[in-house]
Chain A
Amino acid sequence: MKVRDVLDMVECTVEAGTSGLDNEVKCGYASDLLSDVMAHARDGDIWVTVQAHENIIAVATLVGLAAIVVAGGVECQPEAARRADEEGIPLLRTRLPAFEVVGRLYAAGVRGRTGS
């Protein structure tokens, strides 16, 4: 599944990073703690969070995430959008709450990583 395939599914708008919309979504990760994401998310994960500031882009770039879904209708900060464009990380925003976003992704076949 590609990032562009989840857009309708999670009812999101693309805030920035359109050049990454063809990134392959391998798995998913949900967390609002940046050090937790650094340690446990993996290359190709789609990340569901309510954080929307610029530092989420640094995390996404370092981990090699496929995309970020900012849930719960949180406004993305302009600096985050600017960075997402620079790095080609799709920054998606939805008014759906995080639980619903994860549920829809899971139902469509996106799994979390279990075990190591």
Chain B
Amino acid sequence: MRLECKVTGGDFQAAGEAAAKLKRTLRQVGIDAETARRAAIVAYEAEMNIVIHAFRGVLSVDISPERIEIVADDEGPGIPDIPLAMQEGYSTAPEHIREMGFGAGLGLPNMKRYSDEFHIESTVGRGTNVRMVINLPSKGSLT
């Protein structure tokens, strides 16, 4: 199963909708609450990073019996120093965004912490691609 949501930079009204849609879908197809929570957290952080830092992007999710793959692909300024951006507390969010409680520099570390696989690629002046995998607990049979 595949879900795709467009995400628009600066659109705080719609922010969080893609992640909410994903969580609802996961619960509907019977994925356990804890796994759905982890998927919702990483999807939300990826979605918010497009809203806050990029121009536009797409959040897509592929759900298979073994895993949930979440990809956030954006057109935006890109990230010049990824190891620095991955540090807890590092943020370039402007003051008016921080006042809203964003920009704690926790989003990327959260994505890494709550996913089983985390890959990030970025080209300055072009955009950023984050790919995360959450493995689903196997239903018993070893393959």
Contact surface of A with B, Cβ cutoff 8 Å? 32-36, 38-39, 43, 49, 51, 53-56, 58-59, 61-64, 79
Contacts and interface: CB of A to CB of B under 8 A. Distances in A.
B49 to A, nearest CB: 10
Nearest to A33: B104
20 contacts: A33-B106, A34-B101, A34-B104, A35-B48, A35-B107, A36-B104, A38-B41, A38-B44, A38-B45, A38-B110, A39-B106, A39-B110, A53-B100, A55-B101, A55-B102, A56-B101, A58-B19, A58-B20, A61-B16, A62-B44
A58 B104 contact: no
Contacts, number: 63
A48 to B, nearest CB: 13
Contact of B45 (A32, A33, A35, A56): A35
A79 B13 CA distance: 8
Nearest to A62: B40
B16 A55 contact: yes
Which secondary structure dominates chain B's binding surface?
Answer: helix
B19 to A, nearest CB: 6
Contact of B33 (A43, A54, A59, A61): A43
B101 A32 contact: yes
A17 to B, nearest CB: 16
Given A33-B106, A39-B113, A58 B16 contact: yes
B41 A62 contact: yes
Which secondary structure dominates chain A's binding surface?
Answer: helix
Interface of B: 12-13, 15-17, 19-20, 23, 33, 37, 40-41, 44-45, 48, 100-102, 104, 106-107, 110, 113-114
B108 to A, nearest CB: 9
B20 A55 contact: no
Contacts of A58: 15-17, 19-20, 44
Given A35-B106, A53-B12, 9 more contacts: A35-B104, A38-B44, A54-B12, A55-B15, A58-B16, A58-B19, A58-B20, A62-B41, A79-B13
Please list the 4 inter-chain residue pairs (A to B) with the smallest Cβ-Cβ separation, ordered nearest first.
Answer: A58-B16, A35-B106, A33-B104, A34-B101
Contacts of A61: 16, 20
A39 B48 CA distance: 14
